[in-house]
Structure formats: C-alpha cells, structure tokens
Chains A and B, each alone.
Chain A
Amino acid sequence: MEPLSWTGALGPWLVPTLEAALIALALAALAHPLALLAGYRMGPGPEASRSGPGRAARLTGGLLRLSLWALAAVIVAFLIGGLLVQPDAKGILGRIATRLWPVWLSLGASFALVALFRRRLGLVGHLLGNPAGAVGLALVMFWVFAALFADQIAPFDPVTDVIAGMKNKPPGTPLPPPGDAAYGYYLLGGDALARDVFSRAVAGARVVLAIAPAATVFAFMVGITLGLPAGYLGGRLDILLSFLANLVLAFPVILLFFLLVTPEIVAMGVPTYMAGALFLFPLIFLTILWNSRFRTRPPLRAALIGATLGLGGWLYAGLAWNADPLGIVSMPAGVLIVFVSVVFVNAPSVFRIVRGLTLDIRTRDYVAAAQTRGEGPWYIMLWEILPNARGPLLVDFCLRIGYTTILLGTLGFFGLGLAPESPDWGTSINAGRGLLQFVPFPPLVPAVAIMSLVLGLNLLADGLREESLKE
C-alpha cells in the first residue's frame, strides 16, 4: 500500500486555498495593528474609536476578518470533505476526521442543545454569544468527548499494540503486510516503540481528563475548607494557615515534584498519608455544609450527614488507604502520588483566593444580617459567603484545570509518577523528545493536544469572566 498523503484527493483544491488564506491572514495581522496605531495617533480619545478607525485600519480590519473566516471555512471544508469523500480518496486528515465521528456527533448535539435552551441555561447560554467562550467550550468539549469515546476512536491499543516495522515511521504509513490488523495505517506515525501515535494521543486524553478535573475539585475542597475560616475568623488561625500556604507556595513547583514524586517517598508511604489527610477535606466540607444549613431540621440533617459519611467514608477508605472492604474502589500507587502532589500544589493557591474573597464579602450587610439573626460562623461562611464567591471561583476553576493539566504534563515530561508506558501526553512527550529533531511527530502530537486543551480551558475561563461581569 502507498503511504497516505495529508490531504488525499482534496489536496489539489484545498491546499492552495489554505495557503492563500494564511498569507492574507499574516499580512492583515501585521498591517492591522500598524494601521490602528497610526489612526490613534491622529485622533486619540474616546471619539476616535466611536467615529471608527481610519480608512486604512478599516481596510486591514476587513481583510483580517475575511481571511480569518476563509481560514475557518477551509478547515471546516477539510473536515467535512474528509468525512464525505470515498474511503480510498481520503488523506490523513480525512481519515482522522472520520475516526473522530462520535466526537463530531456529540459536539453537534450538545451545542444544539445549549443553543436550544440558552435562555434557561444562564451563564453557559451566554457563552455561545461570546466568541472566545464558544471556541473554548468547543475545544474543551472536543477533548471530553474524545476521552469518552477513546475506545471507538483509537484504531490501536495505545500500550500493547506494538507492530514490528512501524518504529519511528512518519504519519500515514501503512502497516506492513500481512496486514491482518483492524486498521491499515498509523495515521500520525509510529513512536520509538512502534506504537500508534494517534491512538496514544486519544487515549492520553482519557488519562489527563480523568486526573486533572478531579484533582482540581479536591484542591478546591481543601482550599475552600481552610480559606473560608482563615478569611472569616481571622486571628491566629489565619496567621498559621497563611504562613503554611505561603510556605508551600514559595517552593518552586518543580522542586516539590522532584522531592515528592520519587520511589523513595512512595516507599516511605508518604503519599498515602498525604492522601489520608487531603481526601478527608471533602468529607469535612460536606458534613459541615449540611450541618450548618439544616441544623433547624434535624431529620434531614441526620439523613444527609449519614449518607455523606457512609458513601464518603467508603470512597475514602478505598482511594486513600486502598482498604475498600468491598474491593471495588482503589487507586494505583503511581496515580495516587501524582494526584496527591497536584492537589498539594494547587490547594494553597485556592486557599489564598478563597481567603481574599472571604475578606471582601464578609463586610457586606447580608453577612451582618446573618450575624444579627444569630447564625453560626460555618453557616455564614458556607451559605452566605461562598455562593457569592462562585463567579470568581468558577473562573479560577477552569483556569486551574488547565494549570493542573500543565502540571501533569510536567510530571510526565520528567518521567515522575506515572508508568513509562502510560499514554498520557506528558509521558509521551518525554519518550519522544530525544529524537525530536529527527522524528518530530511522537512528541509533537501530544504537545499540540495539551496546548489545545489548555487553550480551550483558558478561553472558556475568559469567556466566563467576561459574561459574569456583564451580569
């Protein structure tokens, strides 16, 4: 079989269009700021922007917009064309687009749903009207669905399918005969161990998206449970907690990782103890949450706290101490150490943010009103202050998932924690960086994957921030 070209039968049509659009975009992107600046110099002040920029700037602006649209159209044409043409006319891009069909389907369905109910969805509905937010949401959802449907999308097993002769092969290489495998090509080439780069990138999404959001949630639980009392009660507690938080924050992250994520530390059982402490916080948090809210309704309170402690205790025993009596819940040691250290690094930042927000919100009259009805401090913290901090916290949550993804990549990049054959993106970059100058694809693909996911999260956060400010 012939190696695949990137674009297949669409190439002769679309590649020149793409090049033209790119050149136009580059020209416009260079010219537009210059034209704008020149315009400002002539007529600064708020009127200048209202009466519109100069004619030159309007021209370059139009060109910029036009070329952006053209670029987007070409990319969409690649995807749709790739999906639609005859199987043997498909290039690499077309085939990838075809493999990803569950993602396109779900993405289309979820966006249609959001658009349909945008009025009732509040903030999420507004996001669609915000270009940055919509693009961010799309990127994030893309990876979420890719992770969900990884088994359907990936043509090969990311770890065990090692096919002789495919080591360090370029994208689009057909499998060597006898070719009895399920799929005929390594779409994005093979890595140094002759595994399929495309499959590993898709499977990597699953690892990353399983750890990063969960770790961020835990970091938030810890940060909120400690930040609220530090900000609200103040005093010695605040001094102590702030000192500890600053202590952790003053450690360069990389140093902490090199100190914490080592086989020696794991041998000492340190991660288990840390998990034992850190994983307690969600339990504490929920228990206090229910207790403070429903102290006036004892039966409901007892039910909720009982459920929390029962279910939470079971998960806690399994996750932190690997002692699930039913043997269902557990976490591999490598994942646990990675998880714990990422939570440990993030929690102090969340603590600082929550503490700052609390200091601000506690001066409001509705907090004083709660005090004058004799509410306890935890009720005030959790039910009066926390809900009103949700805007900035939500924005930070999105940013922090992105940051956590970067941290996971960093750990993988240094080969810390996760197993060397793990398909996660950081580990893949680490495995491929040695031959980077000669076989760029094995590290390049996961690098682009990390970038697009984090970019999506950051854009989403930016959109959320903008929209919540407009409210």
Chain B
Amino acid sequence: MTAPLLEIDRLSIAFTTRRGDIPAVADFSLSVATGEAVGLVGESGCGKSTVALGVMRDLGRTGRITGGTIRFRGRDLGTLSEPELRRIRGNDIAMVYQEPMASLNPALRIGRQLMEVPRLHRGASRAEARDLAREMVADVGLPDPDRILNAYPHQLSGGQQQRIVIAMALMSRPALLILDEPTTALDVTVEAAIVDLVKGLGRKYGTALLFISHNLGLVLEACDRICVMYSGEAVEQGPVRHVFDRMRHPYTQALFRSIPLPGADKTTRPLETIPGSFLMPQDRPRGCNFGPRCTHFKAGLCDAAAIAMRPVPGADDHQARCLRFEEIDWQSRPPAPEATAPGEVGAPVLTVSGLRKYYEVSSGGLFGRRRRKLVRANETLSFEARQSETLAIVGESGCGKSTLAKVLLGLETATAGQVLLDDREVQETPIQKRGPRAVADLQMVFQNPFDTLNPSKRVGGQILRALEVFGVGATRRARRERMFELLDLVRLPRDFADRMPRQLSGGQKQRVGIARAFAGGARIVVADEPVSALDVSVQAAVADLLMDIQRTRRTTLIFISHDLSIVRYLADRVMVMYLGHVVEIGSTAQVFAPPYHPYTEALLSAVPIPDTRVEKTRIVLEGDVPSAIDPPPGCPFQTRCHWKDRVPNGLCARELPPMVELGSGHRILCHLSAEALGEMEPVFRLAAE
C-alpha cells in the first residue's frame, strides 16, 4: 500500500467555552488513501464535522487542536503557516457542506464564484478560468453552462446549487474532497443523483473522498471504507462491507438494529432502541464512552482505563474500540418484547373525497408585475383512514402533504371536495368552529422537536393547557394528575413537568409533543415527519412509542414522511403523493412490490439501504419537481417519467391519467397498460446469503 494521502493520528480537538474546555474529538485516527472514498458516520454531536473542520484547520475562535497530528501528503497541517495553509485549502483539499444555498454567496454570480478558484490557485487568466468553469459545470451535469454561469445562486434549485458547490470544490482538481452531509437538505431522488455524481467524478479525477453522513445506506453506496464515531471517538473502522456484515463494536450493532431495514416488522421484529441517552462531552465516563448504554458492559473491565482501537481479525484494517468483541455473540438478539397484538382495523373514521386546495399567492417580488397566481397544493385527493390503522403519506417536498394535514386539521379550509370526520363534513369548518370534542379527536404531532414546544413555558404547563382547552378534568388537581399520567404514557419521568423545554433533548421534546397530542384522547393523530429530525437511534424509540400508544388506544395514525424505510416499517397502508396528486395508494406490501407507479419505483430505488445483501436497480430521475404554480399538463409526473414512451400517442402529456384499480384497494394514477405494469421488476431483492 502506498503512503496515505491524509493521515490523522491520535487527533484531539477541544472547544473553549464559559464552563471550560469541552473535548469534542479525542484520540481519533484515520487515514485516507489516494482515490479512496471513506465514510465517516455517527449521530449528531459525535464530532464528525469537527474532524472535517480540523482537517481544514478552520475551527473558529474557540476550537483548537489539543493533540495528535494531521498529515496531508506527509506534511503536518498543524504546523503550516497561514499562507501555506491557504495554498492547500481549495487547491488540494476542498470541502462541500450541508446547505447548498448558504454555501454560495448570494450577491455574486455563479461564474465569478467558480472562476475565483483557478484564478487564485493557478493564476489562470479570466478567459481560461471561464473555460474551466464552463467545462466543470457541464461535468456536474447541468444543462446550458453559460446561462448557469451568469445566474445568481437563488435562481437555481437546491439540487442545482449543490451541483455548483461540488463543481466549485472540484475546480482545482483537489486530491481530497470532504463532503459534510452533502445531501441531507435535499429530497431523496435528488440525493441519489448527487451521490452518483460525486462517485463518478471522484473516480474520473482520482479524488479521494471523505464522506461525512449520518446515513449508513449512503455510506454503503458511496464509500470503500467506513469509520463509525461515537462521542468524539472512532469506535470502529474498516472496509465498508466488512463492517456492515461483521461489525465488532456494540454501538455499530445497536445503530444498525435501530434502523428499519427490509425485514424489520413492527410486530414480529421491532426495532431495538439504544438505552440511555447521548452524554455531553464533559460527562464522558472513564473507559468506554459507550459503556453506560452498552448491553455487554462489564464493570471493572470496560470502565477501567481508556480503551484503544484493536484490530479485528478477518480483514486487514478492520479495527474496533471494544475490549470484549471476541466474547460477544454477535448473532444473538435480545428477546423481542412481548408483542402486543396489532389492533383490529375498524371502520373508516376519516373519509376524504375529491379534496382540492388552491392557494392564491402574489408573486413577482418587488419589481415584477404583481400577479395573483394559483398554487395547486392539493388536486382531487380521495382516500380514507380507518380506526386503529396507520396510513402513511409519502412524497418529496412540495408534494402537498403538509397542506393536506392543514386542511384535515381545519387550519385551512378546502377549496373543493369533502372531508368526513366520522359522519360530519368538516372541510369548510375552520378549527375554531369545530367544538372542543372534534378538536381533541383530531390532533397533530409536529416535525421539528426544537420548535414543537413553546420555549418559554414549562413542559407540564403546556400539557395542562391542552387539558384545559379540551375540557379534561373538573379541577386543577384532576388535570394535574392527568398530566402526570400522560408523561407516564410517553415514558418520561414525572419531574419533567417542571422543566423548561430547553432542558430536554430532541427525542424528549418529541415525546412531550406526543403527550400533548393525546391529551384529549385523540382518535386520529396526524404526525408530520415526527422523527425525521431526530437521530436514528432516537427515531426508533419515538416511532415505537407512537405505535404502542396507537395499539393500546386504537388510534388512527396518519404518518406523513419522506422516509420510505420507516414507512415500510410501521405503516399499514401507504399513499404516495406527487405534485398534489395521489399517484399510488394501497397496503404497504402492495406499494412496496411491483407493479409500481413509475414515481414510486424511482422513489424506492433512490432510498439508500444499509444492507449489503440488498441489490437495487438504480433509477435516477432527471430534473426537479415542477412548481405547483405551473404544473405540467397531463400526468403530473410526465416530465420526469422514464416509462413515458411506453404509452402511445403522447397521452401522458395531454391527459391526466385515471386512477386505475389494481385489485384489493391498490390504485395507481397512470396511463400504463396492465401489460407494461406486469413487466415491472422489483426494485430491490435480498440476495441469497
């Protein structure tokens, strides 16, 4: 093996705060060879981004390297002077991060921002730089490079912006490209395209990649080697497939077992949650950082002294920071908790037919002619939700799923169509006229845990207010008792009632949000991406909690999500939305197996699955989701559909397809003939082991 391109050796980084130094990264070693792609995974706060910034030596005023070395092509980056460092930044090492819009200077044209790189590092002339930029823009797969070069960042879509950021990073053909969660802010189908692009370009230019992500599936797709981090340390690293198949650190395993892989099932094989919660760096224990949460913890051994990485036999370069990995039986699973029988699905409680919601927006900004434009957020939606059932609504941003939730809850009134709650029509009744019973029946759990609770009121007070409004309990004392019961229900200690929201973690806040939603004994709960902002290990716990409550209370759960893995895990029925239309609806099994709607097929193929046994067909969608202000004629999906040529006479571009019944409640919105649909193959298969 040749000398590694980047060699991080026993790196420690600390941040200075009011309360003293906080060690963010400790004893971290990693090497990246030329042309290699290394994935760095871990949950938020584990220090993975800090490592990246440490490599760039851009730790801000408060951060500093407290130990270890970072060598790039044999030179210690820690000892370089500022000008020397500048020659490496952007030239030999480049970086891409999460928010593409924020990464581009809003006041400068794209071209100028791209050209800056070769002009700085190669002393290229204006014309040369422009040629290079044009070439690079074409390379990242953007049409009409000259138009793009003259555009400002806000004129591009999120996916295009991220391509530009990648192009900018690759302008000087760096030897190492650091990608910090490059696709987290993007939709799944766009994400798939970006990952493909990065992989391809990395190969084309021989660029080594350091790919930072919380998404194990993406790392499997994009990387050769993986390094798993927990609480500032690398806990396991090695070749991707080796680590995925034969993990030798309890944290890695716990991580894998907490994400819904194909085969997980909410009743027979529920997700396992990691007990305890993430410790703040200053509270780290002696010995193994994961010790307090580890099921294999052995007092006297694991908490005796600092633990070093130890090689795992079987593959070179596979290491784990665990003293007991030889002794642990890696196949055994803890006994599944006694399975509550799935609730009997009852009669429909919510029936939506022909629902339409249009908004008027005035567009044109400050200078354009102010024109009233119609946003067609929802187009003739029809579906029903039954008692004790989980109906998942799936779709990418802008598909109208959040608008639907607002209409159901009465925050907006419908433009047309009918919403039946039990037998009452509520489509035109705003929430204030619904009466406390109907309001308490239909509640909502929100997406953003940092936003869902009022930051200036105590947790208990917020639940009490809901009880008051819903008219639960005759006295204050009774309501207080009820509030404690709700905290029990969501498995939070009762003394949390006196805490302020800022003292709670994201998952705990989300639990309070759930308690609040169930305060009035809700019969239908709309959960809008309730777990997507949480870390994977917490996601499982919150999702399972929702499921449990649903089972015992026979609640109807309408689960809005863009994450197909979790949807497959917990939904009974799935409804796929695109541009305000329902394009497919059916039971989970029906939707996740062919025949698919072409959009569902693409969605499924875009979902990264962290399982080496899964073989996927890649279908990469071109372009972006059209705007709901100006939807395409005919089928909403026709602009991106690659089955379109199987429909004769360009029917797709002219007529909205009918909702075709494929049997037992499985319906799709498509012109494809039964024959064509029959030819569809499953997007992914489990390879025989």
Contact = CB atoms under 8 A, between A and B. Distances in A.
A contacts B directly in the complex (CB < 8 Å)? yes
B452 A388 contact: no
B469 A373 contact: yes
Most buried by A among B60, B85, B440, B451: B451
Contacts of B331: none
A69 interface: no
Interface string B452-488: 1111110000000110111100000000000000000
A387 B465 CA distance: 16
Contact of A365 (B81, B440, B451, B470): B451
Max chain A C-beta neighbours (<10 A), residue from B448, B469, B520? B469
Contacts of B333: none
A456 B409 CA distance: 50
Contacts of A375: 469
A62 interface: no
B209 to A, nearest CB: 25
Contacts of B64: 50
A428 B216 CA distance: 74
A104 B454 CA distance: 42
B469 A296 contact: yes
A43 interface: yes
A390 B444 contact: no
Given A373-B469, A374-B431, A387 B456 contact: yes
Interface string A356-386: 0000000011101101111110000000100
B411 A371 contact: yes
A368 B456 contact: no
Given A50-B61, A374-B431, A368 B411 contact: yes
B406 to A, nearest CB: 8
Contacts of B439: 372-374
B592 interface: no
Nearest to B471: A296
A368 B82 contact: no
Contact of B466 (A50, A297, A373): A373
Given A388-B454, A390-B456, A46 B431 contact: no
Given A49-B61, A374-B431, A374-B432, A366 B82 contact: no
A46 B58 contact: yes
Contacts of B431: 371-372, 374
A470 B456 CA distance: 16
A376 B411 CA distance: 12
Most A Cβ at <10 Å: residue of B58, B436, B454: B454
Contact of A43 (B82, B434, B452, B470): B82
A48 interface: yes
B455 A365 contact: no
A177 B448 CA distance: 79
B434 A368 contact: no
Contacts of A46: 58-61
A39 B205 CA distance: 40
A47 B434 CA distance: 61
Q: How large is the interface on B (under 10, 10 to 19, 20 to 34, 35 or more residues)?
A: 35 or more
A214 B444 CA distance: 43
A295 to B, nearest CB: 9
B513 interface: yes
A183 B86 CA distance: 72
B469 A365 contact: no
Contacts of B454: 366, 384, 387-388
Nearest to B453: A366
Contacts of B471: 296
Contact of A369 (B82, B434, B513): B513
A178 interface: no
A471 to B, nearest CB: 8
Interface in A251-296: 296
Residue from A43, A365, A470 with most neighbouring chain B CB atoms (10 Å): A365
A179 interface: no
B178 to A, nearest CB: 18
A45 interface: yes
Interface in B516-535: 516, 520
A388 B58 CA distance: 34
Contact of B446 (A43, A368, A376, A384): A368
Nearest to B456: A387
Interface string B402-446: 000000010100000000000000000001101010011001101
Interface in B29-57: 57
Contacts of B469: 296, 373-375
B90 to A, nearest CB: 13
A453 to B, nearest CB: 30
Contacts of A43: 81-82
B447 interface: yes
A271 to B, nearest CB: 37
B375 to A, nearest CB: 17
B77 to A, nearest CB: 11
Contacts of B468: 296-297
A362 to B, nearest CB: 12
A390 B455 CA distance: 11
A94 B446 CA distance: 65
Interface in A160-216: none
A372 B59 CA distance: 43
Contacts of A364: 451
A44 interface: yes
A368 to B, nearest CB: 7
B644 to A, nearest CB: 38
A384 B457 CA distance: 9
A365 B447 contact: yes
Contact of B470 (A44, A368, A373, A387): A373
B455 A376 contact: no
Contact of B82 (A45, A297, A387): A45
A34 B465 CA distance: 59
A368 B444 contact: yes
Given A296-B468, A388-B454, A47 B444 contact: no
B447 to A, nearest CB: 7
Contacts of A48: 82
Interface in A41-63: 43-50
Contacts of A296: 468-469, 471
Contacts of B444: 368-369, 372
Interface in B73-103: 81-82, 85-86
A50 B64 CA distance: 9
A49 B59 CA distance: 12
A369 B432 contact: no
A384 to B, nearest CB: 6
A420 B628 CA distance: 67
Given A43-B81, A45-B82, A369-B516, A376 B432 contact: yes
A152 B513 CA distance: 57
Nearest to B526: A372
**Which of A44, A46, A48, A376: most chain B Cβ within 10 A?**
A46
Interface in B187-235: none
Contacts of B516: 369
Nearest to B501: A366
Contacts of B440: 373
B212 to A, nearest CB: 21
Given A366-B454, A372-B411, 13 more contacts: A47-B82, A47-B85, A49-B61, A296-B471, A297-B468, A366-B452, A366-B453, A366-B455, A368-B444, A369-B444, A373-B466, A388-B455, A388-B456
26 contacts: A43-B81, A45-B85, A47-B57, A47-B82, A47-B85, A49-B61, A296-B468, A296-B469, A297-B468, A365-B452, A366-B451, A366-B452, A366-B454, A368-B411, A368-B444, A368-B446, A371-B411, A372-B431, A372-B444, A373-B466, A373-B469, A373-B470, A374-B431, A374-B432, A388-B454, A388-B456
Interface of B: 18, 57-61, 64, 81-82, 85-86, 409, 411, 431-432, 434, 436, 439-440, 443-444, 446-448, 451-457, 465-466, 468-471, 513, 516, 520
Nearest first, the 6 A-B pairs at minimum CB distance are A365-B446, A365-B451, A387-B456, A374-B439, A366-B454, A296-B468
